Structures are given as C-alpha cells and as structure tokens.
Amino acid sequence: MILDQLQLPSQQQSVNISAKLIASIKMLQYSAQELEQAVAQEVAENPALEVDEVGLCQRCGTNLSSGLCPRCEQYAGGAADGRDEIAGWDDYGDLRGSGTGDEDYDPLDFVRSGGTLHEYLLRQLGASVSNDDYPIVEYLIGSLDSHGYLTVSPEEVAETLSVSLERVESALSLLQSLEPPGIGARDLGECLLIQLRLFEARGEVCPLSAQLVTGYMRELGEHRFAEIARAVGATTPEVKRAWQFIRANLNPYPAHAFQSGDVPGQGLTVPGERSMVIRPDVVIRKTATGFEAEVVEMRRFNFGMSGIYRTLYQQSRTHHTRPDDLDEDGKQHVRHYVTRTRFFIACMRQRWETLSTISNALIYFQSEFLEKGIRYLKPLTRGQLADYVGLHESTVSRAAANKYVLLPEGRTVAFDDFFDASLAAKDYLRELIAGENVARPFSDEELADRLEEMGIHLARRTVAKYRESLGILPSRLRA
C-alpha cells in the first residue's frame, strides 16, 4: 500500500495574543518597586514620554506639603501638640534653658540630630576606603535613589570619573557592605542577595532562599509554589517556608530602614514603627456614603506626550511639504516613539483600571471586615472575585501579587489577606492563648474544642499549624 502525503486545507482555532495584552499583563503584575524601575527605564529610552511625578507620603499615599505629610504629622510627637514629650517646654510655650546660666543656653541642644543617609554612609566608611577611592564611593552614594538603589551603572561611573572599572566595582562592593543591608544594590534581586549573605554568615539562612531570590521572584509573587518546587527539586512546603523567610526577614527598600531608624545609632522616629515602610498601592478610605478605593499611582504619575514630538507627529501626517519638514527617517523615528508612548500610557491606564475594579470588588465583599475588623473577614476566593468583576482568575492573581492596601484604620495589609479566611480564626486563637492560665496552658486539642464552642470548626492539626504560624510555642513549652 502506498500512502500519499497530501496537504489539505482545514479550519483550526488558535488564540492570537496581541503585544498590547502581553505588555499589559506584565505591567499589571509589577510590584511598586518594579513599576518604578520600569517607568524610569521607559523615560530614559523614550524621548517622547514625559512624566511628572508627584511627591507622596510612603505610608499613606497623601500628597506631601513642603516635604511633610499632613496626615502623618501626628507621628512626629507623642502628645497632641508634642509639648508633654519634649523636655524644655514650659507652661507658656517657651523654651527654658537647661544650663546654669544664659550663656549655656543653645536652642540647637534641643534639636535632634539624625543626619541624612548620605552622611550616615560616609561616616561608616571611616578609614576603610583610601583617599583615592573616596570620591568614587561618594559619587556612588550620591547616585542612590530614595529606596537605596544605585541609579547608575559601574561603566557610567568609570567613564564619568575617568577611573578603571575594577576600582568602581571594588568601591561598589564596599558600599554594599555598609548598613542598612542591601544598600547600593542595582536591582531587587541583588538587594535581597546582599541581605541573604548576612544571614548566611550567621548560619540563619533558610534553605532555597538564595535560589528563589535569584530566579523565581516572579513565580513567588504569583504563589506558584508547586511549579517552583518541581523546578528546584524540592517540596512545596519547603518552598513556602523559604518564601515566608524572605518576606519576614528581607527588606526590598533598604533606605527605608534608615528613615525609620532601624539601623545602629538611629533612634526610632515613629514609636513602634516597622523597620520597613510598606508603600500602599491602594488606599481605602471611609466616607459618608461608605468606603472608596483610590489607586495611589494615579496621583503619583502624570504621563504625557512631549510637545515637540506631538507637533512633529502632526506635521508628519500632513501631505503638505515645507522646507523644514522631516525626511522619511525622521518621520519614522517620530511615529515610532509617539506610538510607543501611547502604548505605554494605555498599559498604565489598564493597570490602574484593573486595580481599581478589584479594589472596589473587595470593598463590596469585605465591607464588614473594613468596618468591624479582622474577625468579620468573609471566606473569598480569587475565582469568586474574578467572576464578579468579569476578569480571568489569573488576572486577579497577577493584580493582587505583591500589592498592598492601606485600610481606613491606618494599617497596611497585603491584597492576599483579603482572601485568607484563616486570619479570623488565628485572631480568636491568639486571644484564647493570651487569656489562658499560665500554670496550665491549653493544649491544641483543648484550643480546638474552645474554638468549636465559638462556632469555628478546626481540626487539632489545623490549630497546631495556625499556632506555629503565629510564632506561639506548644503548651508544654508555654507552661
């Protein structure tokens, strides 16, 4: 039998994903830090794009006034007007001297001297850097952004200062050895690896952490733990433990540690403040009619087209020729960057619209949680929310990954917390253990029984898992 190979036409359906969709998805899953880097890169590469960045408070997203946040001013002092906490105030609102005579009085004695991050880093250098290399390190420190990341490449520094690349790399290594840990990194991965090396030196690093930081940050943000486990040859619980270690111990914004005073020699400016200031992506506020959500980026970034490129683009579309018109290559250049600018702005607006849609849906589902607290958090899945807003579940997952929400009570939580039904049970569990008899603490089985009486049905093993996640010891060690 002879089989002839014939080419016959047939109909076949296939999904054709546009470049705009791919770019929108990529931009949607960016964290605040990654988005900031993406915007900076686009501005550097695209001459037609103009960005006006508004100064916002990193804690609450409010517009700054003269460098200060009108909402967070209350943290500057302990009392309402700060007088009860500041030595030297008398009942008439004047400063009184602390010395024995007027010649000893100096108003600067009452000014707290914290210094800037630039000064703090230079003080740490001391004699560890030679006089020849000091200008290199000083230039690198001056090139740090507000988060502590290096904004120039070693090659650019070497060319600007007319020194060898080896000397710049050596100076950069010295800078990255200073505190706060992670300072001087060129990207998020390097920042976290610098911090991991400190944990490794103390023998406290969690296995897999360095491997995950190096190649799987995107997958971690999307909680694709099983996929990562298969790729690295580990179990899913091991990957989750490494992820929890990364989240609990590493700081993606090293400069913020200095701002909050969580470095040696720095006092806390805000009592009880966390070492890492988490910038909210969305702010939920309570209004007279309920709750409203605001995407902070919509006020932070104002994107627009360069006036020159807009004029040149309009001229390139006319059929009339003038002596000063662009040639064909010039027209192609203008059209390319104008199209690229419109494309970038469209992707940003799509990101903001998606975040706004998801945030408003969370308000709809979790209004009781926002009003009354964590014990009123309702069970909610990403799939349920996706069905409600008409988006794909993967889109909701990407939008929620590595994003944070400022609640009306002033607490910043991850988007993921809205989908964690265990938080209410953990809060009850924490309260039970806090009120137990110290001489005879509750066992996990007794805790499960008491939760059952409250209408919370949990197995003993689940209670043990929740207790461990809260960092609470078993009953035999709490006695």
The residues, ordered by sequence, that sit 6+ positions from 91 with a Cβ below 8 Å of its Cβ are none
Take residue 231 and report the two structure tokens written for it: 């790729």
CA separation for the pair 260, 181 (Å, rounded)? 14
Q: Report the pLDDT value the prediction gives residue 259, as an integer from 0 to 100.
A: 53
Take residue 4 and report the two structure tokens written for it: 């002839």
Q: Residues 369-424: pLDDT tens digits? A: 998 888 888 888 889 999 999 988 888 888 888 888 988 888 888 888 898 878 88
CA distances to 2, 8, 9, 12 from 5, rounded to whole Å, are 10, 9, 13, 19
- In 3-state terms, what secondary structure has residue 224? coil
Q: Report the pLDDT value the prediction gives residue 273, as an integer from 0 to 100.
A: 35
CA-based radius of gyration for the chain: 28
Residue holding tokens 């103390």? 202
CA separation for the pair 183, 465 (Å, rounded)? 36
CA separation for the pair 240, 170 (Å, rounded)? 36
Distant-in-sequence contacts of 52-57, Cβ < 8 A, 24+ apart: 52/301, 52/302, 52/304, 53/300, 53/301, 53/302, 54/299, 54/300, 54/301, 54/302, 56/296, 56/299, 56/300
Take residue 55 and report the two structure tokens written for it: 């100064």
Which residues of the chain register pLDDT less than 70? 1-21, 57-61, 64-115, 126-128, 205, 257-277, 319-325, 479
Q: Report the pLDDT value the prediction gives residue 74, as an integer from 0 to 100.
A: 41
Take residue 87 and report the two structure tokens written for it: 């030595």
Element (H, E) at 49: strand 49-53
Q: Residues 187-216: pLDDT tens digits? A: 888 888 888 888 877 777 677 888 888 888
Return the DSSP state at 95: B
Take residue 308 and report the two structure tokens written for it: 């020159």
Return the DSSP state at 179: S
Pairing status of strand 404-406 against strand 282-287: parallel
Contact 436/442 with Cβ under 8 angstroms? yes
Q: Report the pLDDT value the prediction gives residue 388, as an integer from 0 to 100.
A: 93
CA separation for the pair 200, 104 (Å, rounded)? 50
Q: Report the pLDDT value the prediction gives residue 454, as an integer from 0 to 100.
A: 85
Q: Residues 59-88: pLDDT tens digits? A: 666 776 655 666 654 433 333 333 333 333
Identify each DSSP E strand in 261-392 by its residue range.
Answer: 282-287, 290-295, 301-305
Contact 193/176 with Cβ under 8 angstroms? no
End-to-end CA distance of the chain: 85
Q: Say what the pTM is.
A: 0.55
Say what the alpha-carbon torsion angle 149, 155, 160, 164 is, to the nearest 10 degrees.
120
